[in-house]
Structure 1
Amino acid sequence: MPLRYFIKNAGLINAAGTEAIDFLNRMSTNDLRKFGADEFRKTVLTTDKGRIVDLVNVLNTKEGVIILTSGDFQDKVISHLEKYIIMDDVSLKKSDRNYVMISIFTEDPVKTGKDLFETEINKGRVCLINNEDFLFTDEFRVMTLNIVCRSENLLKYKSILKDIKEIDSDEYDYFRIESGIPEGKNELNENINPVECGLERYISFKKGCYIGQEVIARLDSQSKIPKQMVKLTPEGQVFCEDKIYDDQNSECGFISSVAEMNNKFLSLGFIRSTNLDFERHYSTENKNGKIKLNILKIN
């Protein structure tokens, strides 16, 4: 796979206080208890009903604990977390600087990091580069090397990446959907729980309580996931929020993301587990008429 990269806004929250890590451990799905300096963890913030607030990266740096949110979710995340701060020694502050994330898609993020920045970066570690920006790898669905930098430093990194193709938002959306990556308000919202969109790897079923834990644990123990995220190849133009119907014409889901490339549409959607069968036929209906949907499993 040739190297490519995409730039998007990154939300950054500084979490200060001696109990910041412990607090975030109690607020989110992943186990943050054994969390050393210069490490990062992906974790899901959920409501008390087990629905997604955001999928975040927590960076435990020497400069302090940093929460990386989806692009413009900082205010939403702070509002959610501050409801639960009572006696905890923790404070949250949205960064007064603008940040972007440069995601480099590569089969070997460690080698790419060494080639570009002469930096040894290991899985689960975060490196400080240029004394103010961050570098770390990600393995969710696709192998990625991420640079989180101040907006004013972007041109410097684009110069370093001059021999790598930058993809635009349409190309990125198609690639993201093709890879089965849930993102932003489309899939990471309070209508969805983490298990429904494939975030199980960021859920600890062994640690203690966290907000939403009871609901998520019950879904896991009973193996009763209400709906599941699938990939769709529509045979025509479709739109976000279009309803999905099974071969008995029963409404059973909805489309959450849509991308088009070379007149081919690709989508992510959610189908109720009781209606999901990869051998069945599905369709949607919009202003373009009735459109057949081919569904695929997300690996």
Structure 2
Amino acid sequence: MLESGSPNRLNNDSEAYLAVLSGSGVWICDRSGSGLLELSDQDCRQFLHNQTTNQIQTLKPGEGCQTVFVTSTARTLDLATVYVTENTVLTLVSPSQRENLLLWLDRYLFPMDRVKIRDISPEFAVFSLFGRFSEEQVKTLGLEVLQGQPEASHALFNLGGVEVRVAVGNGLGLPGYTVMVHQEHSASLWQFLLDLDIQPMGEQVWEQLRIRQGRPAPILELTEDYNPLEAGLWQAISFNKGCYIGQETIARLNTYQGVKQRLWGVKLNQEVAPGQDIKQGEQKIGILTSCTSTPDGIWGLAYIKTKAGGAGLTVQVGEATGEVVEAPFLSHQYFTAP
């Protein structure tokens, strides 16, 4: 964590949360606890392509995508963002999963594979930027090249005399960027960005926004109890890429429309502890996985049986009443081959 960076909470949490959702101002959150894995050598793209759900082999330097690590039975391990460079594939993963995924990848690495894997998390700071930059800010930062580009597109920039990698998207489906910088330059870059009238926000706001937007997290929503289709991560899955770990199960679930439960947002009238049953009357139809109190209400994430319905349902969670709502980050669909 930056000495001058964002702690878990700041005294502007409510302001930051509401401003980010409304698109007011530009905000920065220190996400340096994130895991950053580097895959290098000739086969690195093909190797990661074979281990995760999205199309990585055909990505060119400067391109990227979201992808899901799954088990052989398509149970979720983590949602990651991949950035392809000239010589490496940088993979941004959840803080709690970096060591697990390093070991996981090593299990599938054979002597003939021309792949090197390294955990470079301690060497880099990661910042998330939220908001729509003014024309002056874009010009000062030199970000014109990334405007209008797809999620996870990225390039190297010189910001305040420091080389950084800036990528489109901040991991929550909101306007903004992700910035990766060598740890020794992180404090000066942080100050440089604050001097451009970018406001700091604490990690507590990130967690509130995560739940409000619907991004699933390891241990809570991404566990071996669920697959990525149930988790609403269709945007991170390629149905045309061929074989990969867990591919047969995912293809079968899509073909036969076999998703039995889905992740939804829930708007609650009071805060309740995650892990409680979601009910309609006396019937259990799901489970609450996350919950947070925010300036615009109490929001949760829950897996709900597909046959029970989705958005618009009124449900009970312990002593609380809730309404099932769409979560912007999630998608629920079936893929039909052209």
Query: SS of the counterpart of 1:266?
Result: strand
2:37 is aligned with 1:4: no
Q: Which runs of 5+ in 2 are unaligned?
A: 1-22, 329-338
Q: C-alpha deviations, 1:225-270, integer Å up to 9, x for none? A: 12111111111121122221122x1222111221112493211111
1:179-215 superposed Cα distances (whole Å, 9 cap, x missing partner): 2222343223322211122211111111111101111
Which segment is superposed worse, 100-109 or 186-195? 100-109
**How far apart, in 2, do the equivalents of 1:116 and 1:94 lie?**
32
Q: What is the match of residue 187 of structure 1?
A: 221
The answer (yes or no) to whether the contact 1:112–1:145 under 8 Å persists in 2 is: no
171-180 vs 71-80, which deviates more?
Answer: 171-180
- With structure 2 as the length reference, what TM-score do the two structures score? 0.79
Aligned length: 293
Match of 1:273 in 2: 306
SS at 1:274's partner residue? helix
Larger mean CA deviation between 185-194 and 250-259 belongs to: 185-194
Q: 1:143 to 1:96 in 2, by over 3 A?
A: closer
Judge conservation of contact 2:49–2:55 (CA < 8 Å) in 1. Answer: yes
Q: 1:20 to 1:116 in 2, by over 3 A?
A: same
1:281 Cα shift? 2.7
Q: Does residue 1:76 correspond to 2:100, yes or no?
A: yes
Tell me, in whole angstroms, the C-alpha distance in 2 between the residues paired with 1:165 and 1:17. 39
**1:112-144 CA deviation, whole Å, 9 max, x = no partner?**
873342232243532123465311002863222
Letter in 2 for 1:147: V
Percent identity, aligned pairs only? 22
Contact between 2:288 and 2:303, CA under 8 Å: does it hold in 1?
yes
Are 1:59 and 2:83 an aligned pair?
yes
Q: Please give the secondary structure, in 2, of the residue aligned with 1:241.
A: coil
1:6 to 1:193, Cα distance in 2 relative to 1, 3 A = same
Q: Please say which of residues 49-58 and 144-153 is displaced more in the overlay.
A: 144-153
Paired residue secondary structure (2:235): helix
Moved more, 41-50 or 78-87: 78-87
- Whether the 8 Å contact between 1:4 and 1:167 is mirrored in structure 2 is yes
Please state whether the residue corresponding to 2:34 is helix, strand or coil.
Answer: strand
Asked if residue 125 in structure 1 is aligned to residue 149 in structure 2, the reply is no
Higher strand share: 1
Is residue 157 from structure 1 mapped to residue 165 from structure 2 by the alignment?
A: no
Cα drift, residue 21 of structure 1: 0.5
How far does residue 54 in structure 1 lie from its aligned partner after superposition? 1.3
Letter in 1 for 2:167: F
Aligned residues of 1:43 and 1:56 also touching (Cα < 8 A): yes
Match of 1:167 among 196, 201, 204: 201
